[in-house]
Amino acid sequence: MGEIGGAPFETLVLDLFSKRRDRLPCPSLRSPKRIRVEEEPSPFETLAEEILFLILDRLDANPLDRKAFSLVSRSFHAAESRHRRALRPLRAELLPAALARYPAVSRLDLSLCRRVGDAALGCVAAALRSTLRSIDLSRSRSFSPAGLESLAVSCAALVEIDLSNATGLTDAAAAAIGKARNLERLWLARCMRVTDMGIGCIAVGCPKLRLLCLKWCLGVTDLGVGLVAVKCRMLQSLDLSYTAITKKSLAALSQLHDLEDLAVVGCPSMSDEALSSLKQGFKSLEVLDVSSCDRVSHVGLSSILNSAPGLRQLRLAYHSFVTPSISSGLQRLSTLQSINLDCSHVTTNGLKSIGSCCTSLKELSLSKCSGVTDEGLSFITSKNKGLVKLDITCCREITDVGIATMTSSCTSLTSLRMESCSLVTSLGLRLIGQRCHLLEEVDLTDNDLDDEGLKSISGCHKLSSLKAGICLKISDEGLVHIGNSCPELQELDLYRSVGVTDKGVTEIARGCPLLQMINLAYCTEMTDESLRALSKCSSLKTLEIRGCPRISSAGLSAIAVGCRQIAKLDIKKCHDIDDAGMLPLARFSQNLRQINLSFCSVTDVGLLALVSVSCLQNMTILHLKGVTPNGLAAALLACGGLTKVKLHSSFKSLISKPLLQHIEARGCSFQWISKPFQVQLETNEVWKQQLQDVVVR
């Protein structure tokens, strides 16, 4: 304290060296104290978690809906995190953050992550130790047996693993899988390096297996299958397609009393002798697939069918001849509901025999079968009036006579596929909609369909999928009927149906708000007006408009703004789409995964803009004159989620080899195309005539 004129004063001390923030030169310079204001609690915070879970259960699968829900309040955000049970990340590096956000995940799909290392699997094992029940690694690479072992040992609740296409998987990895003691379902399709030793480890370690897929496991023989039959007594479904098994395996499998589904497609040792050796067993078998077994005739087939009286589904695709002799094995199958004869040679008497023996069929597939006539089709459909699904794709001998009998007999059809039935006229096609009102899926691609036919099909008010590509007689008039009467339509294919214009598409967009996929490729009269109308379909996920020269960036911008769920986009040969169309895509289409930019007017600017789309995985970039090697290299380097890229081979020598190797090491595969530039597009009439010439030859 000092004193001036008898008046005391305070000494001012300046501390210029202290790092303490509370030492201010004057009390008046101190920061004012913050006054806490008590905020009123949000009414949403008082809702019980059970109520929030009920709301989440009723939300659609749209991720934007869940995101909006989580942004309502803190309690909503926490509830959404705890409620989610399924997770499908785009890249492995996103796993730690995703698992921290969603601790209750039970189903983890990593099929979109091309490179999943041991560190990522270790992270999964640590975060989902008690909750994980299913993991999909069917398209993933880079993990080792150690990573699989950490997963199998740590996650005691794990019951399902999909390792399909893991061509580098060895017996050591199979031994690691064998430590998942509670495993019930396992897919090892195309794991060609796994042998009987690895399968033996799985059989011993996983006695609770109910489903096992060993398709294309070339190292698996009778020894491995025998071990599975001995140790996995609860097995219900087994796929041994394209393996080297013999009749010894079938004898072992006949001891599995719970086996319901067996596939031996393309097994070279499957013969009449192998099947005839089975005198008993397979009493529980319900589904059997012996497609592409060239050495199996009606003799061997009868043997195995006689030992499986409860069979419900039979697949005989690519069978040499379907003749009346096949009936000897079908006579006892009163429960048979589905038969698949795709790509087989069928005789009229053969179909009659099947129709006489099997009168409870619900599904019949004769796709690309030669020898199917009106007489045979009429007989089998008249005997099976309860048919729900029928496939007669490319049965080119069928006429209006067969269609008339089929439609009058099978009025309960929900699915009809008859692409390229060239002898059926527009009059025959009209009968489909007039008589089969329950149809939900119809494929009339490359037929004589006209507007009257579409009008009759519009009477199927539950229609969800309509394929009318290469139908040159349909126009806007027919689409107006579909738009007015089919509000549940989700998929529409109008590929090369050149009579369709903006008016028809506008009516579809107005009347079908649930539309998810539309193919307008080579519908040359389409303009931006169609895309502006389709932008109102907020659920649209797939849009194919290749070869539509009148569509520009303005129309594509409308799609980007209105259809935020768009995932697949094909704008090949849309020459008026340029960088102005890419910028809105980059901003609004964050769910975009696949795009074809070939022959457009996009430059480096537009290509680099797409880098911000984090979901983008598949790109086709051919003949883009405005794209330079440097711009392409920068885009490829910055887009870390790419898994497949199609490029013209001319770029291969212009991009540095180390850069390409670096991108491939991230999990991206390149496909180099050397197709020359085509200036003029062929007309649809010429194209169809060429197709017919090929078929005739």
CA separation for the pair 235, 169 (Å, rounded): 23
Burial zone of 22 (CB within 10 Å; 0-12 exposed, 13-18 middle, 19+ buried) = exposed
Flag whether pLDDT at 697 surpasses 70. Answer: no
Q: What does the pLDDT read at residue 38?
A: 55
CA separation for the pair 594, 614 (Å, rounded): 12
Flag whether pLDDT at 246 surpasses 80. Answer: yes
User: Phi and psi at residue 571, in whole multiples of 5°?
Assistant: -120, 30
Q: What does the pLDDT read at residue 694?
A: 38
| From 23-37, 313-327, 376-390, the region with the lowest mean pLDDT | 23-37
| From 190-204, 233-247, 292-306, 336-350, the region with the lowest mean pLDDT | 292-306
Q: What does the pLDDT read at residue 199?
A: 97
Flag whether pLDDT at 550 surpasses 80. Answer: yes
Average pLDDT of the residues in 316-321: 85
What's 685's DSSP letter? H
Helix (H, G, I), strand (E, B) or coil at 653: coil
Most confident of 94-98, 243-247, 532-536: 532-536
Share of the chain above pLDDT 70, in %: 90
Q: What is the largest CA-CA distance in the chain?
A: 131
pLDDT in tens, 401-460: 999 999 999 999 999 999 999 999 999 999 999 999 999 999 999 999 999 999 999 999
CA separation for the pair 331, 329 (Å, rounded): 6
* Cβ–Cβ < 8 Å for 626, 601: yes
Average pLDDT of the residues in 682-691: 46
Share of the chain above pLDDT 90, in %: 73
Flag whether pLDDT at 676 surpasses 80. Answer: no
Q: List all residues 6 or more positions away from 512 whose beta carbon is below 8 Å from its beta carbon.
A: 482, 483, 486, 487, 488, 489, 490, 492, 537
Average pLDDT along the chain: 89
pLDDT in tens, 602-647: 999 999 999 999 899 999 999 999 999 999 999 999 998 899 999 9
Q: What does the pLDDT read at residue 36?
A: 56
Flag whether pLDDT at 57 surpasses 90. Answer: no
Helix spans in 108-167 (H): 118-127, 145-154
Flag whether pLDDT at 39 surpasses 80. Answer: no
Flag whether pLDDT at 21 surpasses 80. Answer: no
Flag whether pLDDT at 562 surpasses 70. Answer: yes
Q: What does the pLDDT read at residue 318?
A: 92
HSE (CB half, 13 Å, CA atoms) of 499?
16
Q: What does the pLDDT read at residue 69?
A: 87
pLDDT in tens, 249-265: 998 998 899 999 999 99
Q: List all residues 6 or more positions away from 464 whose beta carbon is below 8 Å from its beta carbon.
A: 440, 441, 488, 489, 490, 491
Distances (CA, A) of 109 to 163, 501, 611, 664: 11, 41, 24, 22
Helix spans in 589-654 (H): 604-609, 629-638
Average pLDDT of the residues in 148-174: 96
pLDDT in tens, 103-139: 999 999 999 898 999 999 999 999 999 999 999 999 8
User: Global pTM?
Assistant: 0.87
Q: How many CB atoms lie within 10 A of CB 363?
A: 17
Average pLDDT of the residues in 319-327: 77
Q: Which amino acid is at 510?
A: R
* Cβ–Cβ < 8 Å for 190, 215: yes
Token output for 680: 């003029």
* Tokens 């086709």 -> residue: 620
Q: What does the pLDDT read at residue 167?
A: 92
CA separation for the pair 314, 324 (Å, rounded): 17
